[in-house]
Amino acid sequence: MSYTETEKETIAVPEKVSKRFFLETYGCQMNISDSEIVTALLQKEGYKSTLSPAEADVVLLNTCAIRENAEDKIRVRIKSLKAVKKRNPDLIIGVLGCMAERLKKKLLEEEHLVDIVVGPDAYRSLPELINGLEDGGKAVNVLLSREETYADINPVRLSGNGITAYISIMRGCDNMCSFCVVPFTRGRERSRDPETIMNEAKLLFEQGYREVTLLGQNVDSYKWFGGGPKKDFEKVTAENKNAEVVSFASLLEKVALIHPLLRVRFTTSNPQDMTNEVLHVIAKYPNICKYIHLPMQAGSSSMLERMNRGYDREKYLRRIEAIREIIPGCSISTDIIAGFCSETEEEHKETLSLMEKVKFDYAYIFTYSERPGTLAAKKYKDDIPEEIKLTRMQEILARQRRQSMDNNEADIGKVFEVLVESHSKRSKQQLVGRNSQYKSIVFTSEQHKPGDYVHVCITKCTSGTLLGEVLN
Ligand code: 5AD
Ligand code: SF4
């Protein structure tokens, strides 16, 4: 048997190749992006990924803490690993991400199967923590950082379609919405060096990717001052009066200019911070997608005040009007929380009426879940009974379903440029992609493949999908 140079090397250092890891991701796109970073960090150290916990030496769960039920699901998953650990007593179980950061070493006390707890800013220490784990030992690293952006790490893409990818442009959040645990689990906001963002996007394009989504908890507050993140502003400008300031609008423009065939998306925008400058950049470049996710959370000014969102109903509506005026044909989605502290029937009705006015294309709807340590948990009572929260959520859902259907029906007869992402699960001849407005479009074609741009005329729809025919 012959070995290549690298194989020889790895055989000479057995601990470098001996470990296989299984990584499972919960929660938002940011967590998917973080898992791609963790995979890169572990692979660099010689770890190999496996698709089953039974084959792994290390099982990692990258977790979410945004609502209680997200954490409950993870606890059930941890318990389900008991049988795997019984068969392989050396198995290391690690909890990463927001739940790890929220509970810290308490998680080890509450979930005895867990060996390692690592927060979102401490992933670089993961290989060392795993290696240093002594028989029966436990390890925790939940230090939050003001600098860490993993800017130098080239993520291992896990989405699998080879066409769309996430790029993290910043980490953390300074907004302190009263219901939200994110500022506590992901720490202070910091922006990533734009040069490294551009390089990542260019590399993806060269590898055949055709769409990047720029990720941040609040992309509108992205800021980089020639040679340093926002906090270094005074120092940098004192040293260099001509230092270039990169705002989110200018970053978006830079990425759009990489190649006209590279589509650019971003999330999440914040009504409090989204500028018209950003809207004009979106309007100017055909390859910046005409889609904005703008969480409203609630429709009444009194609720928005309690939520500490930094805008009221009127300001939210003015942002919507600006989008409609500057970017005609832009689709808009939102997040809504039902049953936040002391929400009256009147306030709930105002949420429904704001939805009526905006006519969102899509909405992510949640019932309020109190998170320990947040402003709301300290200041307000979680006093809306669960049945009422659920009834209100159902009303919001029904309202949105009707609206999504109406909006999709209005697309019938229109022609959209679709970026093909994959073949449909049902049939090899059916392709699935999205238009600029982020709507999922299914059509039949034997001539096209993932990565192609195809003009499709919409013929039918459901509330979630558009169906169409290729335009010759
Ligand atoms: N309860 C319910 N929903 C929440 N979200 C954030 N925190 C909570 C909470 N405590 C929702 C918000 C946010 C989305 C990502 O999750 O709508 O925009
Ligand atoms: Fe949470 Fe508000 Fe920050 Fe979004 S903007 S992550 S809701 S604190």
pLDDT digits (tens, 9 = 90+) for 357-409: 999 999 999 999 999 999 999 999 999 999 999 999 999 999 999 999 999 99
Residues of CATH 2.40.50.140 domain(s) within the chain? 415-470
> Tokens at residue 205, please?
């394009």
Phi, psi torsion values for 440, nearest 5 degrees:
-80, 130
> CATH homologous superfamily for 20-141?
Methylthiotransferase, N-terminal domain (3.40.50.12160)
Q: 426 vs 201, which has greater pLDDT?
A: 201
pLDDT at residue number 57: 96
pLDDT band at 15 (very low <50, low <70, confident <90, very high): very low
Judged against a pLDDT cut of 90, whether residue 454 lies above it is answered with yes
Residues of CATH 3.40.50.12160 domain(s) within the chain? 20-141
Q: Which residues contact 370 (CB under 8 A, 6 or more apart)?
A: 68, 376, 377, 382
pLDDT at residue number 4: 37
Question: Cα dist. 72→30, 331, 367 in Å?
Answer: 20, 34, 15
- Tell me how far the alpha carbon of residue 178 lies from the centroid of ligand 2, in angstroms: 9
Give the ligand at the shortest distance from the Cα of 393: 1
Counting atoms of ligand 1 from 1, which one is nearest the CA of 370? 10
Q: Is 98 in the pocket of ligand 2 (CB under 6 A)?
A: no
Judged against a pLDDT cut of 60, whether residue 285 lies above it is answered with yes
For residue 365, the surrounding DSSP H or E stretch is strand 362-367
* Antiparallel, parallel or unpaired: β 164-168 and 211-215: parallel
Domain 415-470 architecture: Beta Barrel (2.40)
Q: Is 182 in the pocket of ligand 2 (CB under 6 A)?
A: yes
Judged against a pLDDT cut of 70, whether residue 239 lies above it is answered with no
Looking at residues 435-445, what average pLDDT do you find?
97
SS (H, E, C) 255-267: HHCCCCCCEEEEE
- Tell me how far the alpha carbon of residue 366 lies from the centroid of ligand 1, in angstroms: 7
Judged against a pLDDT cut of 70, whether residue 343 lies above it is answered with yes
pLDDT band at 234 (very low <50, low <70, confident <90, very high): low
pLDDT at residue number 8: 39
Whole-angstrom distance, CA of residue 41 vs CA of residue 54: 22
Q: How far apart are the first and last CA of the chain?
A: 55
Counting atoms of ligand 1 from 1, which one is nearest the CA of 374? 10
Whole-angstrom distance, CA of residue 140 vs CA of residue 95: 10
Q: What is the pLDDT of residues 48-106, one digit of tens each?
A: 999 999 999 999 999 999 999 999 999 999 999 999 999 999 999 999 999 999 999 99
Could you tell which of 173, 220, 316 is best to mutate to test the pocket of ligand 2, judged by most ligand atoms within 8 Å of the CB? Answer: 173
> Is the omega angle on the peptide bond into residue 268 within 30 degrees of 0, that is, cis?
yes
Counting atoms of ligand 1 from 1, which one is nearest the CA of 28? 15
pLDDT at residue number 219: 97
- The runs of H, that is alpha helices, within 285-379 are 301-306, 313-326, 345-358, 375-379
Whole-angstrom distance, CA of residue 263 vs CA of residue 287: 5
Whole-angstrom distance, CA of residue 330 vs CA of residue 271: 16
Whole-angstrom distance, CA of residue 423 vs CA of residue 438: 17
Looking at residues 219-227, what average pLDDT do you find?
86
Judged against a pLDDT cut of 50, whether residue 11 lies above it is answered with no
CATH class of 164-407: alpha beta
Judged against a pLDDT cut of 70, whether residue 242 lies above it is answered with no
CB 346 within 8 A of CB 307: no
pLDDT at residue number 136: 79
Residues of CATH 3.80.30.20 domain(s) within the chain? 164-407
Q: 156 vs 229, which has greater pLDDT?
A: 156
pTM over 0.85: yes
Share the mean pLDDT of the chain: 93
Amino acid letter for position 189: E
Judged against a pLDDT cut of 60, whether residue 5 lies above it is answered with no
Q: How many residues does the chain have?
A: 472
pLDDT at residue number 230: 58
Whole-angstrom distance, CA of residue 460 vs CA of residue 470: 13
pLDDT at residue number 236: 60
**Which region holds residue 301: left if phi is over 0, alpha if psi is between -120 and 50, else beta?**
alpha
Judged against a pLDDT cut of 90, whether residue 159 lies above it is answered with no
**Residue closest by Cα to atom 6 of ligand 1:** 180
- Integer-rounded Cα Rg, in Å, for the chain is 23
pLDDT band at 238 (very low <50, low <70, confident <90, very high): low
Question: Cα dist. 424→34, 69, 445, 450 in Å?
Answer: 27, 31, 11, 11
